[in-house]
Chain A
Amino acid sequence: MKIEIQNLTHTYGAGTPFVKNALDDVSITIEDHDFIGLIGHTGSGKSTLVQHLNGILKPTSGRILIDGRDMWDKNTNIREVRFKIGLVFQYPEHQLFEETVYRDIAFGPTNMGLSEEEIRERVLSAMEFVGLEQDLLDKSPFDLSGGQKRRVAIAGVIAMRPEVLVLDEPTAGLDPKARDDLLKQIKKYYKENRSTVIIVSHSMEDMAKTVDKIIVVKGGKIERFLPVGEIFADAESLSSMSLDIPTITKVFKKLKDRGVDIETNVYTVKYAYELMRSRLLGEVRQDA
């Protein structure tokens, strides 16, 4: 599913003393099967941007085309769009309401009008997907821990099997292990379902090891839209946007500055390890 955003501007509070231009003339094309990280400082407009993707917010001006069709065209059923483009909100655990975990996850699929068996199958697989034990099925979602609630909420969107999955800061407030697990599961969802996935995040480090392309938003504008490999090339300008580059990238840049002849386009520890290993082995062999 291809999403084209054309000259999108969004203004909050038009006509009051609190006007705020949250997005300013944004144009971007998200191709089918893209895996994108959306990064930006607090208040840069990330949430505002993703809420346009499934028609929660209506553009103040500009258009959004889904496979070439205008989302706000009279003939487009906006609910259908929402089933295809699933959005997990920031802190989604606040939206739980049902009596049991099962029924909460089933809310989306039920709204889609699926059959009872289909719903059951989807709920169970979504639970497995986010790593929730089956014995939580009949528990009240309000009795779960914060991390478990988050998983239930994410499962509620995944159970709709959207072609495009958008997650607004899914890892905020999770412990490091839960964060890594969740990112891994999202990556798996991306690979297995051939869907498009967009993750909003503050952390360059997390994004570097998860996604393929990165969009940097600043002050309601798109600053960069590049593959992960190229985004860290100008680390200085990223720091000036108060975005951090991964620690490992910093290490390699420092080494380079000190005169070590080394590649600086390193942004995961895994790759750094491979690189160092082959280098050290190579050097050892030369010495021998």
Chain B
Amino acid sequence: MLKDITLGQFFPGTSPIHRLDPRVKLLLALIFIVVLFVINNLVAYIIMGVLLAVVVKISQIPLGLVLKGLKPIFVVVIITAILNIFYNTTGEVLWEWGFLRVTTNGIMLGIFMAIRIVYLIIGVAIILTYTTSPILLTDAVENVFSPFKRFGFPAHEIAMMMTIAIRFIPTLVEETEKIINAQKARGADFETGSILKRAKALVPILVPLFVSAFKRADELAIAMECRCYQGGENRTRMRVLQTSRIDYVAIVITVLVCAALVSMNFMEFGWRA
């Protein structure tokens, strides 16, 4: 059951998307997010959806995994869409009851918001994290923020903490599952009884989990000390990030497509909100 959390996981592969420089991917993701919220034209959104599908196809992520990643946010999407429908009350009124009013523009906005969230998850949480190893991703974060080191911004330390945190998510999930099983073997019952009883039933899981998490943190710190680990100054890397032709191609394509999509905002066609 805990294993169903696929969001934020990495799936190794050799597709062109996997091979992009992580800094470039980060940059493109940023552009993508901005454009996603700037465009206001249904045709543009449809085009964007098709392009996202193409990128998913190129990245060789199985469609089933994309859907599985979207499942947990389904409720959020629906609620956001409904709230937005009632939020915008301009345009032709379709239905009215008390202070609630559904208008054409409201429906449009609801649809747009739903599309934006779904695209955001597909673009960032799925394409970016599924195709980029967490190590590369944090390397990229460090690299992008390192100019701010001059002003005392701890880029290296933050990247290191991210790496460690991400690294230990699967370990903790595995550990939790093991502890749950061990307590089940002693007849622990997590599924029946009142809320209070169920909350109490969590104690046999949480205590060992915290104990082992702290112990792990301690051991890791000691192991790092033993190898004379020290912050970012003058550290060299085993893998130096490098941009290549494929990165420039990706940047050019993305910028052109985004410019085209944004320019549709100023054209006189399509449905817009």
Contacts and interface: CB of A to CB of B under 8 A. Distances in A.
Given A111-B186, A111-B188, A13 B3 contact: yes
Contacts of B62: 17
B6 interface: yes
Contact of B185 (A13, A94, A96, A157): A157
A92 B208 CA distance: 11
Interface in A80-95: 82-83, 86-89, 92, 94-95
A220 to B, nearest CB: 19
A82 B184 contact: yes
Nearest to B184: A56
Interface in B194-236: 203-205, 207-208, 211-212
B183 interface: yes
A16 B12 CA distance: 11
Interface stretch (B80-88, B174-182, B263-271): B174-182
B193 interface: no
Which of A83, A87, A95, A96 has the largest count of B CB atoms less than 10 A from its CB? A95
A97 B204 CA distance: 6
Nearest to B60: A17
Interface in B158-183: 175, 178-179, 181-183
Interface in A140-165: 142, 156-157, 160
A17 B12 contact: yes
Interface residues of B, number: 27
Interface in A111-129: 111-112
B133 to A, nearest CB: 14
B248 interface: no
B134 to A, nearest CB: 16
Interface residues of A, number: 27
A54 B68 CA distance: 30
B11 A51 contact: no
Nearest to A56: B181
Contacts of A157: 185-186
Nearest to B215: A94
B65 interface: yes
A256 interface: no
A176 interface: no
B64 interface: yes
B187 interface: yes
Contact of A16 (B6, B175, B181, B184): B6
B186 A108 contact: yes
Contacts of A79: 187, 189
A56 B65 CA distance: 26
A282 interface: no
A111 B187 contact: yes
Given A13-B3, A94-B212, A97-B207, A107 B179 contact: no
A94 B187 contact: no
A97 B187 contact: no
Contacts of A87: 185
B208 A86 contact: no
Contacts of A111: 186-189
A280 to B, nearest CB: 50
Contacts of A156: 186
A31 to B, nearest CB: 23
10 contacts: A15-B68, A17-B11, A54-B185, A82-B184, A94-B178, A94-B182, A94-B208, A96-B208, A97-B204, A108-B186
Interface of B: 3, 6, 11-12, 62, 64-65, 68, 175, 178-179, 181-189, 203-205, 207-208, 211-212
Interface of A: 13, 15-17, 51, 54, 56, 79, 82-83, 86-89, 92, 94-97, 107-108, 111-112, 142, 156-157, 160
Q: Which 6 A-B pairs have the closest CB atoms?
A: A111-B187, A97-B207, A95-B182, A108-B186, A87-B185, A89-B182
